[in-house]
Amino acid sequence: MALSVFSLEGKLALITGGGTGIGLGIAKAMIESGAKVVITGRRETVLLEAIEVLGDKSSYRVNDINDKRGIPALVEDIEKTIGPIDILVNNAGIHHKAPAQDTSDEDFERILQTNVMSVFALTRECARYMLQRNSGSILMIGSMAGLFGIDKVVAYGTSKTALTGLVNTLVTEYSSSNVRVNAIAPGWIESNMFLNAINNDPARKQQIVNRIAMDHFGQPEDIGHTAVFLSSEAARYITGVVLPVDGGAAVNF
């Protein structure tokens, strides 16, 4: 089998929250595999810094995914001025850490709004074009918190579990038009924010380390390489999968 089936040459990927962390790692991997990328986020300075790193196969749009009314215009703009969106990566999301009894209705709704409702709205709009072309790859970025219970993240964990249901249902409607829908469930991936958080909570850090079967945390490029595979022709018969990339954390005791 030729390695060209893993190439994304000629493809255009829209990656939400693509300016930092996992989103930036996915953007780098996709560019290295031949794709052009459009990254979105709320902070233009962050996006400009990312574009400097990513190079001339990248562009950006300042966008808040919670602005659902603006989503059709965003997608239409990219389709008309940059090109057809072949790959959508729903990476942007927010976190809320608090015990369930200290999580307000407003906190819960805010997490669901960003991590589920906005994801569906953008997916629906991109799919409108993909279904017409009978081609497309849609990726959700889930979490370990969507696979097993983790304390103090009730809203976040519920939102990531909901993405599995979204994947399952969209597969039943999109697959006949060759639009594939999959999810990646990252484990604990190194970033400045993550390292600062766990280094300030030694007990939590030890709990996480004990959970991972391998001897190290993941890197953003680990998620990026997985996203490339799932978006490529090598995965042309894969849809409806929630793939943990977690060093064995989901199954380790």
What's the structural domain count of the chain?
1
Q: Which residues contact 9 (CB under 8 A, 6 or more apart)?
A: 33, 34, 35
The residue behind tokens 């597969």 is: 171
Q: How far apart are CA 20 and CA 64, in angstroms?
A: 15
Assigned domain for 101 exists: yes
Assigned domain for 195 exists: no
Q: Please, what is the average pLDDT of the chain?
A: 96
Q: How far apart are CA 226 and CA 222, in angstroms?
A: 6
Assigned domain for 247 exists: no
The pLDDT of residue 192 is above 70? yes
Assigned domain for 37 exists: yes
Alpha helices by DSSP H, the chain: 21-32, 44-54, 71-81, 105-112, 118-133, 154-174, 192-199, 202-211, 220-231
Question: For residue 3, what pLDDT is reported?
Answer: 81
Q: Which residues contact 42 (CB under 8 A, 6 or more apart)?
A: 62, 63, 64
Question: For residue 198, what pLDDT is reported?
Answer: 85
Question: Three-state SS string across 90-122, please?
Answer: ECCCCCCCECHHHCCHHHHHHHHHHHHHHHHHH
What's the pLDDT tens digit per position in 100-150?
999 999 999 999 999 999 999 999 999 999 999 999 999 999 999 999 999
What's the pLDDT tens digit per position in 20-35?
999 999 999 999 999 9
CATH, residue 24: 3.40.50.720
Question: For residue 35, what pLDDT is reported?
Answer: 98
Q: 60, 129, 156, 174: which one is catalytic?
A: 156
**In 142-187, which ranges are E strands?**
179-186
Assigned domain for 178 exists: yes
The alpha carbon of residue 171 and the mean position of all alpha carbons in its chain are separated, in whole angstroms, by: 17
Q: Which domain holds residue 52?
A: 3-189+221-240
Closest CA to 127 of 71, 209, 165: 71
What's the pLDDT tens digit per position in 146-173?
999 999 999 999 999 999 999 999 999 9
pLDDT band at 1 (very low <50, low <70, confident <90, very high): low
Assigned domain for 252 exists: no
Assigned domain for 209 exists: no
Query: Mean pLDDT across the stretch 1-9?
Result: 87
CB contact at 8 A, 162 and 155: no
pLDDT band at 61 (very low <50, low <70, confident <90, very high): very high
Structure token digits, residue 244: 């943990």
Q: How far apart are CA 49 and CA 114, in angstroms?
A: 24
CB contact at 8 A, 139 and 183: yes
Assigned domain for 76 exists: yes
156 has catalytic annotation: yes
Question: For residue 245, what pLDDT is reported?
Answer: 98
Question: For residue 197, what pLDDT is reported?
Answer: 75
